Amino acid sequence: MVSALGMTMTLAGCGGDSVSPSDVTLKLVAADYGDSKANSSQKYWDELTKEYESDHPGVKVDVSVYSWTDVDRKVKEMVDAGNAPDMAQIGAYADYAAKGQLYRVDELLSIPVQANFVSQLSDAGQTNNTQYGMPFASSTRLLFYNKTLFSQAGLTPPESWNGLAAAAKVLKSEGVTFPYALPLGPEEAQAETMQWLLSGGGAYTDDVGTYSIDSEQNIKTFTWLKDELVGKGLTGPVAPAKLNRADAFAAFARGEVGMLNGHPSLMQAAAKKGVQFGMVPMPGVNGRAKATMGVADWMMAFKKNGHAEQIGDFLDFVYDDKNVLAFSHHYDLLPVTTSASEAMAADEDDQDLAPFLDQLPASVLYPVGKTSWAGISADIKKQIAKAVTPAGSPTGIFSSLQLTATAADSAS
């Protein structure tokens, strides 16, 4: 995802890391983006490190790939045991940064590579205005709709909430199982929630980064969801609290869903099953939403073993355009750098990803720079679906989440 600028700088402040390249083996722990052994990320890393090592005969890069279910826990166990890897490519960086365990990005990357990250992603990699997290992969969300079901019902893609509800009502009358699939189950409820909050003009935090979960806009959004979609039976036979994202995606690929929020990987799954689908920006209150959700996963480097110079040189190679685009293409993800994004936008073979790419510059990411976010995200997964149940209170649930978030933020 980074251009091949061929520039690696000797960085000031790294004198303590001056180890002979011939003595260095770098340990990287990475997440697996594949869904089978055949397309495991291990294959990507094996090919990439083989190429790197052929040009750097004194440096070895040992990569261990774990599933997303295990990788964050595995890295934590290694760090707690005093055996931190040199690098980790996982879901969050803020806790390690807060403990002073990570290199700053400017201690590692050459200046052109550091400057090439998409600005929203670079900003999200900061804690206390210092970047520790390097974005590794990203995606945005669009509203997917089943073209066949829409055509049969005489519908066009909605641009507003009222249009979405009206379309869902017609789809229900046509016997569609899930007119709008609302996955608020524990797998990824925080994502579906955030997309709806953004479409209602809210977010998890305000413009200065303070938690604003119980804002008027957020409460209004979930009150509308409860009354106009869930309460009217337009979200299908599975209660939102019991519907996970993976199950909603699978139902869409079976042709059972009229509409849902999706990321790029859903395209491939739906196409394999022969589902004709379209994608549009998420509807907002009175027209298309002004912002969409962006998601990024993170690369970080631990100071435990030193090796800043060698780590930086290897990561400059990782973020070369060729390598970034190869990974993005294989897993239907978006590049995290400007030059690779521009290359993807100009490539006719990548036009299926263009709508997602168009959303990235105005996307809003989780507040991952807050050490409190991991706990708050877990609370949202457990609590948020209660807000749309018949007896649920959006005001009560959001107020409770806000109290917890404020306390956690103060403590951190």
CA–CA distance, 98 with 72 (Å, rounded to integer): 16
Condensed to tens digits (0 to 9), the pLDDT of residues 129-184 reads 999 999 999 999 999 999 999 999 999 999 999 999 999 999 999 999 999 999 99
Ranked by mean pLDDT, the top range of 21-25, 186-190, 301-305 is 301-305
Give the pLDDT band of residue 78 (cuts 50, 70, 90). Answer: very high
Residue 387 and residue 334 share a domain:
no
- What phi and psi, each to the nearest 5 degrees, are found at residue 313? -65, -40
Least confident of 19-28, 77-86, 400-409: 19-28
The span from the CA of 384 to the CA of 376, in Å, is 11
Q: Are residues 172 and 231 in the same domain?
A: yes
Confirm if 377 and 366 have CB atoms less than 8 A apart: yes
- Do 301 and 277 fall within a single domain? no
Q: Note the pLDDT tens digit of each residue in 8-41.
A: 222 333 433 444 445 899 999 999 998 778 889 9
The token pair at 191 is 């994502």
In a domain, 325, yes or no: yes
pLDDT for 309-325, tens place per residue? Answer: 999 999 999 999 999 99
The residue type of 268 is: Q
Residue 289 forms part of a structural domain: no
Instruction: Tally the domains of the chain.
Output: 2
Please report whether residue 9 resides in a domain.
Answer: no
258 and 402 housed in the same domain: yes
CATH code of the domain covering residue 227: 3.40.190.10
pLDDT score, position 21: 44
pLDDT exceeds cutoff 60 at 395: yes
Q: Is residue 8, in this structure, part of any structural domain at all? A: no
C-alpha span between 197 and 217 (Å, rounded): 8
Question: Do 98 and 206 reside in the same domain of the chain?
Answer: no
In this structure, the answer to whether residues 41 and 127 fall within a common structural domain is yes
Domain span holding position 227: 142-281+372-411
> H-helix or E-strand containing 51?
helix 41-55
Same domain, 21 and 83: yes
Q: pLDDT of 232-268, one tens digit each? A: 999 999 999 999 999 999 999 999 999 999 999 899 8
For 214-239, letters b (16+ CB in 10 Å) and e give bbeebbebbbbbbebbbeeebbbebe
In angstroms, rounded to a whole number, what is the distance separating the alpha carbons of residues 118 and 341?
9
Residues 97 and 229 in one domain: no
User: What pLDDT is stored for residue 13 in this prediction?
Assistant: 35
243 and 111 together in one domain:
no
Query: What local confidence, expressed as pLDDT, does residue 299 receive?
Result: 98
Tokens standing for residue 375: 């706990």
Q: Are residues 313 and 225 in the same domain?
A: no
DSSP state of 315: H
pTM for this structure? 0.86
